Amino acid sequence: MPRVGFIGAGQMATAMARGIVKSKLYPAADIIASDRSKEQRESFAKLVGCSTTEDNKAVAKGSETLILAVKPNIVPYVLAEVKGCLTSSTLVVSIAAGVSLATMEELLPTGTRLARVMPNTPCLVGETASAYALGKNATKDDGKTVEQILQACGKTCRVQEKLLDAVTGLSGSGPAYVYILIEAMADGGVRMGLPRPVALQLAAQTVLGSAKMVMETGEHPGLLKDKVASPGGTTIAGIHALEKGGFRATVMNAVEAAATRSRELSKAAESKSSSKL
């Protein structure tokens, strides 16, 4: 009997399922996914090596952990479809942005155990930075289950649900900020005469290596920065240019703007869901 079921077999679900199998948390035989798209189902089955179906109810009935990997506007319809298939042993995990635990609790049987997750796209390469919040009926063991699944795809941490908008602004949207940084660094290299492929490789590897330094040394980024910037040298000249351009404030403002927008979208989704109850 499948232990983990995915409703929605898109890229994020596929990446999570591959991480689960690769980490040996569950074998492929214990995973099943449903999707209306035949193409998505075939791709999921090929990449993960597990069974797929068109039937959402079949997935819900057979899964101990049910992961909702569908668009936010689809969640109310999916929950209405499968709520009669859930049992007291089912843990429902949603990766749909903006759909609150309270909204899902209203749409599901009383006592349903829930978790809400905000992953990011590096999940596709096994390096997600995610956070999760547990519903009021979820247990400590449910938290462990969610952590194990997410750690199979990268790093995770538990937060209060009210902080998930901030998580969205930081790590949810963060990959786009980093891509812009990599592109800008590469463009700077090209401006100074480097061939574009060389500049792009150097920029991307520099970001990757720098992130690894932060994670593995445990040292504060400011301290690591100071170790690179020698008095009167090239690095401090570059840092001075960044500071004149308001680099820090711009990045902080980007996180704030994205988090604020996430909060606005969540409230709009709540209003729509409430009107359907």
Q: pLDDT (tens digit, 9 = 90+) per residue, 106-163?
A: 999 999 999 999 999 999 999 999 999 999 999 999 999 999 999 999 999 999 999 9
Please, what is the average pLDDT of the chain? 94
Q: Is 12 annotated among the ligand-binding residues?
A: yes
C-alpha torsion sign, points 180, 99, 130, 162: positive
Say whether both 146 and 21 belong to one domain.
yes
Is 7 annotated as belonging to a binding site? yes
CATH of the domain at 248: 1.10.3730.10
Domain count, the chain: 2
Q: How far is CA 23 from CA 91, 92, 233, in A?
A: 21, 21, 45
Give the end of a domain, one of 159, 187, 218.
159
Same domain, yes or no: 140 and 48: yes
95 and 184 housed in the same domain: no
| Residue after which a domain boundary falls, among 92, 126, 159 | 159
Whether residues 21 and 146 share a domain: the answer is: yes
Q: Residue 69 annotated as binding? A: yes
pLDDT at 165: 95
Position 265 pLDDT exceeds 90 = no
Q: Quick check: pTM over 0.85?
A: yes
Residue 83 domain-assigned (yes or no): yes
d(CA 126, CA 15): 7
The reply to whether 155 and 176 lie within a common domain is no
56 is an annotated ligand-binding site residue: yes
Do 210 and 74 belong to one domain? no
Q: Is residue 247 part of a domain?
A: yes
- pLDDT for 63-87, tens place per residue? 999 999 999 989 999 999 999 999 9
What is the spatial distance between Cα 277 and Cα 273, in angstroms, rounded to a whole number? 7
- Label residue 277 by pLDDT band (50, 70, 90): low
* 266 inside domain: no
Give the end of a domain, one of 159, 190, 208: 159
- Domain assignment present for residue 232? The answer is yes
Q: How many Cα atoms sit within 13 Å of 245 on the Cβ side?
A: 8
pLDDT (0 to 100) of residue 62: 83
Whether residues 61 and 191 fall in one domain = no
Domain range for residue 183? 172-257
Please tell me whether residues 154 and 180 are part of one structural domain. no
The verdict on residue 264 lying in a domain is no
Look at residue 274 and tell me if it is in a domain. Answer: no
Checking if the pLDDT of 275 tops 80, the result is: no
The pLDDT of residue 91: 97
Looking at the structure, tell me whether residues 154 and 19 fall in a common domain: yes
- Whether 33 contacts 9, CB under 8 Å: yes
* Confidence class for position 274, pLDDT limits 50, 70, 90: low
Strand partners, 5: 32, 66
Here the CATH number for the domain that contains residue 129 is 3.40.50.720
Backbone angles phi, psi at 68, to 5 degrees: -90, 110
Instruction: Tell whether 165 is covered by a domain.
Output: no
User: Looking at the DSSP assignment, which residues form a beta bridge with residue 130?
Assistant: 156
Half-sphere exposure at residue 152, Cβ-oriented, CA atoms within 13 angstroms: 20
Whether residues 21 and 139 share a domain: the answer is yes
CA torsion 29-35-36-38 (nearest 10°) is -50
Residues 200 and 143 occupy one common structural domain: no
- Same domain for 104 and 235? no
Structural domain contains residue 267: no
